[in-house]
Chains A and B, each alone.
Chain A
Amino acid sequence: MWVDIASLTLMGGVLGSLLGAAAWFLAVEENPLEAELQAMLPGSQCGQCGYVGCAQAAAALARGEAPVTLCPPGGKATAEKLAKRLGVAVDLSQHEDKIPQYAVIVEDLCIGCTRCIKECSADAIFGATKQMHTAIAEACHACGKCVLVCPTDAILMQPIPVTLRTWHWPKPPSWQERMELEKPVSHHWPKPPSCQQPVEA
């Protein structure tokens, strides 16, 4: 038994140190900023930003080639986080978040071509050749790539309905906004032109 224990311990030790050494000497150099930025992105590799995946988008951001507003699914929150980390000033007042959506396959139009299945990076579409397909709402992350490849326009992006579980109170108006809302509208006549001013014909 001692021989077994000793040999296994020895093997473990040797292999472990080998792996450790390999990790040290063969390490791929990574930009720490890139890794940090990538962690902020949703990581769904949807490609809506125009880059292949989130890692490539993070690299472009780190090089300063891409705007912080590049990620549509990330929305305002992600843009704010990226801007803060990169120290970029960005005006997000006009930026509107996309309403959360999910893909729905119209069963009457689906011809079972499987193109959307191949396109979906989250395996959210279910089906087989010449069989009807269906999209799993919980798994869909609304990248919309399936809509583009569907030959019969059978895929629709629909807003996720608000339910009792997801509804919450809106933000109350501040006192300034209240005053703006409740400002009395003036109903008096405009000031008449003075007689000194020449009246244009």
Chain B
Amino acid sequence: MARLFPMRGGVHPEYRKELTSEKAIINLPLPDLLYIPLQQHVGAPSELLVAAGARVRKGQMLARSDGKVSTSQHAPTSGLIKAIGDITAPHPSGLPQPTILLEPDGADAWAELPEPIADPFSVDPKVIRERVAWAGIVGMGGAVFPAAVKLDLGNQYKIDTLVINGAECEPYITADDRIMQEHADEVMDGARIMARVLNAARVVVGIEDNKPQAIRAMQWAAEGFAEVSVMAVPARYPMGYAHELILAITGHETPAGKRTAEIGAVAYNVGTARAVAQAVRLGRPLISRVVTVSGGALRHPANLLAPIGARVADLIEYCGGFTLSPARLVIGGPMMGQPLPSLDIPVVKGTAGILALSAAEVGERPQSPCIRCGACIEACPVGLAPLEMAALIRKDNLEGAARLGVEDCIGCGSCSWICPSHIPLVQYFHYANGMLNHQEQERRRNERTKTLVEAHHLRLEKQAAAKQAAQAARKPSTPKAPNDKASA
């Protein structure tokens, strides 16, 4: 096996994956209503193609990509578009977001799909890229960056390694683990197709060593492909962060504020690789995803294949509901996940997990003053000094925190997890980055106002000058008359 490179920082949270790791993926029965948000990805929201009252078929495009960084949305089943309106977004703010309401008709009839690409290894890479863009595939590890845009990186940079991210370092979540165990061939196929588009010479599947079955399944799938290797990486949070995994596999660190492509590596989640394989081989868009529904407050934790747009409440109901009142409901993993604003929010393309945690699992303890032990510095995977930054942010010195690199924080929460004083460190950095972003927007707005005001003044001056010139042109004729009279 190839040599592994040491990782910086990281923590060892309790994994608690045994709740669902042995549970095969089951299909969620179609809910009564699906809520498909127009924005489930990074970039511009999709542009709506259907109106309320329209009948759509499974796989039909409902909204198309609008802009360079954007993607499309498809109907997860056949049915009637009931309405298009603002529905609570799967976002901690609980703010509304434009959403398509689709009422399934139960027929689940497919629309006319594009032809499968029979031999993806001989066609023009552009064809594959277009297919991936059409299918509305985004990074399914949680970053939700449009996958087709990332496939273009092969044209800009020399990519030598395609990393398939099967680390799945978040506790509780087992969606990727199950995908690798049950659909290893599809993942491998998707990975090799993407490697060809990116022109990458080798493919490395990185899996944390606490998933031996997934490693074995992927090794079997990789047999016969010389360019593919499967690597067991040490189980250590946040190994699933792309920069971290690439560092462990290639030994190259991505510079701050740069993309991994600049050091010759691109990472895709295993779910994304599978979605690419399905889009290319079957001509199917991304209309469902595997979601781990878990936590101590849930009756029957499970891995569900849920259509995009199913309500969280539908998934929880299917899992038997709660056994006790959950202390916290989280979308995503317990480390980086976000609190759920309500149970009436939809599953979107980036939803890897839904957790109903009991009070014992949350284990919230009172905050106390910083004792400057430096545990957070050792835990930080990007080499920041969380205690210093938090102290500055607490005193509203955002500029100072920015100088210390708060904008490089990946929000993994290792510092908050390890802090013996239970200081909400990562929460401070979320706040600071939000505030810095806001200040930057304000600054840009001010600049724009300045240019507008300057243009306004310039126009006024021009108008005044034109008026004067017109008056000057008129003047000589009027005073002449009395002069003439006087001389006459």
Contacts and interface: CB of A to CB of B under 8 A. Distances in A.
Interface of A: 42-45, 77, 120-124, 138-139, 141, 162-164, 166-172, 174-175, 178, 182
A42 B441 contact: no
B95 A164 contact: yes
Given A122-B453, A164-B95, A168-B434, 15 more contacts: A43-B453, A44-B449, A44-B453, A123-B456, A141-B449, A162-B93, A167-B93, A168-B431, A168-B438, A169-B427, A169-B434, A172-B424, A174-B367, A175-B368, A178-B367
B93 A172 contact: no
Contacts of B459: 123
A114 to B, nearest CB: 14
B455 interface: yes
Contacts of B423: 175
Describe A's contact surface by its main secondary structure. Answer: loop
19 contacts: A42-B450, A43-B450, A45-B453, A122-B452, A123-B452, A123-B455, A138-B448, A139-B448, A162-B93, A162-B95, A168-B434, A168-B435, A168-B437, A168-B438, A169-B431, A169-B434, A174-B394, A175-B368, A175-B421
Interface string B182-220: 000000000000000000000000000000000000000
A77 B439 contact: yes
For chain B, which range describes its interface: under 10, 10 to 19, 20 to 34, or 35 or more residues?
A: 35 or more
A171 B428 contact: yes
Interface centre among B394, B421, B455 (most CB of A within 10 A): B394
Given A43-B446, A175-B367, A175-B368, A167 B453 contact: no
Describe B's contact surface by its main secondary structure. Answer: helix
Interface string B21-39: 0000000000000000001
B91 interface: yes
Given A163-B95, A167-B95, A172-B428, A124 B452 contact: yes
B92 interface: yes
Interface of B: 39, 89, 91-93, 95, 97, 366-369, 393-394, 421, 423-424, 427-428, 430-431, 433-435, 437-439, 441, 445-446, 448-450, 452-453, 455-457, 459
Given A42-B449, A44-B446, A166 B438 contact: yes
B89 A164 contact: yes
A123 B423 CA distance: 48
B465 to A, nearest CB: 18
B452 A139 contact: yes
A121 B434 contact: no
A163 B93 CA distance: 9
Contact of A175 (B369, B435, B445): B369
A164 B93 CA distance: 8
A123 B460 CA distance: 11
A139 B92 CA distance: 30
A175 B428 CA distance: 13
B35 to A, nearest CB: 15
Contacts of A174: 367, 394
Contact of B446 (A42, A121, A138, A178): A42
Contacts of A182: 366
B453 A164 contact: no
B431 A164 contact: no
Nearest to A142: B449
A170 B434 CA distance: 9
Interface centre among A45, A122, A123, A169 (most CB of B within 10 A): A169
